[in-house]
Amino acid sequence: MAVTYQDLLPLKHQGDPLADEVVKELLDADRINSVNQLFRQISTADQTPPTRRRQDAALHA
């Protein structure tokens, strides 16, 4: 089943502690380009969200 915008709307203001921590660590380390790259990956509609391995790789790149 495809997920629609309407399906996601109730989650719009809900946080994701794991993802929030990854972004916080990247920002704290002045890794704004890594944050931007991560958001580009997860905002592309035709791709699945990055796996934990890819998030860890972005954090330690």
Burial class (CB within 10 angstroms; exposed 0-12, middle 13-18, buried 19+) of 45: exposed
Residue recorded with tokens 């929030």? 20
- Alpha carbons 19 and 32: distance in angstroms, whole number: 15
DSSP H helices, 9-60, are 17-28, 32-43, 52-60
Give the model confidence (pLDDT) of 20-30 as tens digits: 898 899 889 99
Please tell me the predicted confidence (pLDDT) of residue 46: 66
Please tell me the predicted confidence (pLDDT) of residue 49: 58
Please tell me the predicted confidence (pLDDT) of residue 10: 84
Ranges of the chain whose pLDDT falls below 50: none
Please tell me the predicted confidence (pLDDT) of residue 52: 64
Please tell me the predicted confidence (pLDDT) of residue 28: 92
